[in-house]
Structure 1
Amino acid sequence: MATVTSDPFVGRLVDGRYHVVSRIARGGMATVYLAVDRRLDREVALKVMHPHLAEGSDGSEFVARFRREARAAARLAHPGVVAVFDQGVDGETSYLTMEYVPGTNLRQVLQAEGPLTVGRSLDLLEQILDALAAAHRKGLVHRDVKPENVLLDESGRVKVADFGLARAVSEGASTATSTILGTVAYLGPELITSGQCDARTDVYAVGVLAYEMLTGRHPFTGETPLQVAFQHVNSDIPAPSDVEPWIPAEVDVLVCALAARSPEDRPVDASAALSLVRQTRQSLGPADLDRRSSAAPGAVPASSGPSAGSPDTAVLGVATGALASALAGPGTSVTTVPDPTPTTTLPGLPTSPIPAPTTYPVADSQHTQVLDRGALAGHALEPSDDGPVDEASPGARRRRRWWWGLAITLLVVGAVTGASWWFLSGPGAYTAVPGGLVGVPQAGAEQTLDAVKLHSSVTTAYDDTFAAGSVISTDPGAGERVRKDGTVHLLVSLGVKMVEIPSGLVGKPVDEATEALEDAGFTVGDPKEAYSDTAPAGTVVAVSEPEGTAVPHSTVPVLTVSQGPAPVTIPQVVGLEKEAALTALSDLGLKPSSTDDYSETVAAGLVVSQTPENGTEGHRGDKVALVISLGPPLVEIPDTYGRNVTEAEKMLRDAGFEVEVRHPQGISPLNIVYAQDPAGGDGKTAPKGSTIVINVF
């Protein structure tokens, strides 16, 4: 397979494991590189999604579609399907690693060789359908079968690649919100008009491939993809012999059956189509198988649909009702399908593109007691009226000593009184509250107060800022006056207030759970919603904080409330094997059940019918009833021994059997039945439609 090296991604080491060697191809969703897995020392194909597809509001949808390829292909274990090894994300790079298939693809073979022989075309069809049959049995639809996705290894064996557009049937047929993606030249009419697809859509694409391999051209051509799509919807595929008259009629019937415009007219899946291809081969002679078109090698015309030689094939995105109506033609029911992905623009059509910390006020309760001092009033001593005083006389000296004593006494009393006031009621009776007490542990604050002969008292309170056991505030505050023998009141933190989340919230109605949390002291956040298969709608399925645990009082618990089971679109499982149908429904969360019944039209082991039908809107947990075919019903075998052959044939045919008449002993005019296999009578039965052999002489 040709490679390209002019790419800045070449040489990179992805996810520390995959060394990119060269570019192989570039498609609408991703680029494929040849890389070496350093861990396992092997070559792999590394598929890297285009970065721009992961951008914008629809980016997640593209990432999911890209990763779906890995999940879908990983479910397949078939030699004809390219194996997927790994998927991952490296930074903004979404990638998956696949089996590297050295060789070429069918597109390059057609470009190099032109139309193929009938025999080789049938060989390739058998291998392609065998691989698709494995997918269909798993409930998977490829949706993008085209020559670029049919790889041929160096031995010429087919490997079907790129299940990137595959959707599990269990995810339902394409709905009105899906996008039609696929190369327009190979799209089934039902996928274009309504977005509906199933295994028969892949069969249609294989029919177009068959036409192209035999004739070297597409069945429908036009100047724009819209014109090609219009023909798919409104015209039956032409017989290949219209272009190449030498093509046998059996091959015409095969191609037209595979690519029938109505899905009901096609084989139900790739297994049925494969049987049809093999029957066609058996009906052809060696000369027919060796024939091919006389067109020169390499003369494969390029249609106006996909570019025949480019990996970036045209993509049809049906985005408006007007476009779908134009494709469908008058009188056709159309489902509008918006397109969120970048696609090839069709000419002439528009594009769409925590509470604040608690503060504790400290009351100013300091009261200073002021004692009123009584003033010492000296009384003026007037001279005696007894006459002049003799200062030198003993009496005068005694009076002077008396006055000096009185003065000294008054001074001493005043000093004592003032000192008493200073130290007992005045400024000398107080001291300042030490600083540095706030934020320290209670024991440390008490030691500091004790050192300055102050007492302490303690009250406690919760606080969101101060650690438990540390001082929040003092009363009086630091630097304020307090009596020297007074008491400083300490407010000590209990730490953050912890509140217990109530138990038993899960399973309660959301209103009751909210009320329980609010009663416990919480402010409850806006609830989240989630689907639940078990919890009734409106009940709590989860709490953001574990029930019964203590959390800070400022925590805002959030309740997750059930919306009930998630909605589900019932998928199409009719025609699938029983186990595949049960798995597809169970994977969606549905509860399938099955009963057995006989069917003359559906093979044993396949689903005959389903209730509810495909496309019905339901929910996870809904029941889906399936009827599984037991094959044709058993019918009692008539005993024809001794009867005339004509009468015997009529009896057997009327009973619902095919009849084979044998004449082991030669033709006889008696025409009497002398042996029957299987024998009849005595309540013996056989499947209706089976063959009864009668021997006649």
Structure 2
Amino acid sequence: MIGRILGNRYEIVEKIGGGGMALVYKAKCNLLNRYVAVKILRSEFTNDKDIIEKFKRESQAAASLSHPNIVNLYDVGEEEDIYYIVMEYVKGKTLKEVIKEKEILTLEEIINYTKQIALALQQAHYNHVIHRDIKPHNILITEDNRAKVTDFGIALAATSSTITNMGSVIGSVHYFSPEQARGGYTDEKSDLYSLGIVMYEMATGKVPFEGDSPISVALKHIQEEPVLPSEVNPQISKGLEEIILQLIQKDQASRYQNTQSLIEDLNKLKQSPDATYVGGPINHEDSPTQIIPRIKEEDIQVPGKKPQNKKKRRDKLLITSAVIAALIAALLFVFGLFYVSNIFRTEEVEVPNFVGMDIETARQQAVILELELSEETTHSKEVPIDEIIRQYTSPGMKVRPGATVKVLVSEGPRTVTVPDLRFEDETNVPYILENAGLEVGTPRYEFSDFPKGVIIEQNPRAGASAVEGTIVDYVVSQGPQEVTFPMPNLIGGTIENARNIIEQFQLQKGSERQEYNDEYPEGLVIDQSIAPGSMTRENALINLTVSRGPKPVQEPGEEDIELDIKEDEEDDQEDSINTSTTNTSTKNLRVELQGYTGLVSIRVRNVSSGEEVYNKNHDVSRDGETVMIPITGREGQEFELYINNKKHNKSIIL
């Protein structure tokens, strides 16, 4: 399959996953020059017409969903018995992999991921799409910690971890609801049950029900109560535990009834993590839903009345039939007289002007004039509802009684259903509203947790009826509000301290490059990509350069060091002192440091007095390889030279 091109545009690059029903490949879309994920139905299912039809139908339904927390479906195709779905390529890990790595997630992580999954389900349920297979394997976590739900409506094939009922797969055995296990009716609350099992696993690191076979696990979903999450993880929040337990109630009516209620409780939990009660099951014991047999008419007995026998019922039926036949005959007789009388009637009537008249008034006038009205309707913004717009028989025309006059009646302005703009890109709004017969309103921009440019609110609301041409206002997300602050100074501190500061200011740590440096000891930061004091924001990426200390070099042999003592002719009057009383002079010692790098320590010591007449560090890269050292003493005095604390084998005689 690698290297094959599907649909003349999707070039298969590599296999990236697979399940019981399909294999997933990374592919390059040669038309749009981007990577996509291609899910291909396994070959063993390509001869099953039921699975193929469901694969196509439900994949196309899922393709209509658009939400930041749903993996986008781009295309569905078929080619030489290869059935495939083209999806958004998401770089990251599955939630199952995250759970395996961390075992137990923090309360903040659980709330964050659950809210995003619930928002995705809310969008799907609003569009009447039930996922039926919510599990950590079908939830992708991107590198920026966004949860994206995949496999909407395509988990249809039977495997060792799924159950089939009447040819339809109803979920993965460790996560599906009791009604799925029984092959019963599934709805939005079935997805919420599965989400509760996912939350249980995030909070404890385990699924609540295990077994030797899929059937045994399915039976536990129906019959057994799970071990309390707090018994597996004593550190779990009480409020979180109560939300999980309400989600995984056996009875559908006792669970959360919709995703909005769940999201509201998650928001409360985030504000008060130590709350002792969040949500709570609904009590239906006072009026339980029951299935009762259909009550037949013969089962109803009126007190004091005996059942009729068959003969009496037959006689009553004959009498009723005779009465009905007589009535029909009478009606036909009356109609015949009316028709014949009209044939021989010669008087004509004048057609009135019905335009602008209310339809009810026109009907009454038509009866008086013995005319028939034929009514057609159409929408009109200008003409009020039920008012006649035009007539097809000219006013004043003479017609025989009983003639038909055709009129066009206004239904008033056309009403349309307001489309759902939420989570759509701002650039798509004018086209969506234009296609719906609505006008674009003035957008308002607000900061939010949703990506920049995504619609987060609208008025009128989605699904409402509105007159054609109604203005629709909407709110556009500007993305999260960025907080800026001065960049702290990391230079001169240890790399560990720099990492702590980066984490404290919620910055993103980038690369850590090491360089030799003579000024800063090993392990200290010597440079940062964002200058200290400059304004930056949270999540900004910062790269660091760390000192490796001075660059180690092999010291040159002493024969490589050139020593030359001479008087400075240009400054002889200032630097040279030669009197008969002191017999002292100052001369310059030239030291050549070819082969040395970085900082070099140079000391000169008077042998007779033991005094150090020179002691400095010389930066070769900055000051060059030649050093001029002034030495003052009496003629004939001996001096010793030390380079990097190593004595030179040649003494210096003035």
State the structure with more CA Rg. Answer: 1
Q: Which has the higher strand share?
A: 2
Structure scoring higher RCO (CA < 8 A, sep ≥ 6) equals: 1
TM-score using structure 1 length: 0.38
Q: If the length of structure 2 is used for normalisation, what is the TM-score?
A: 0.40
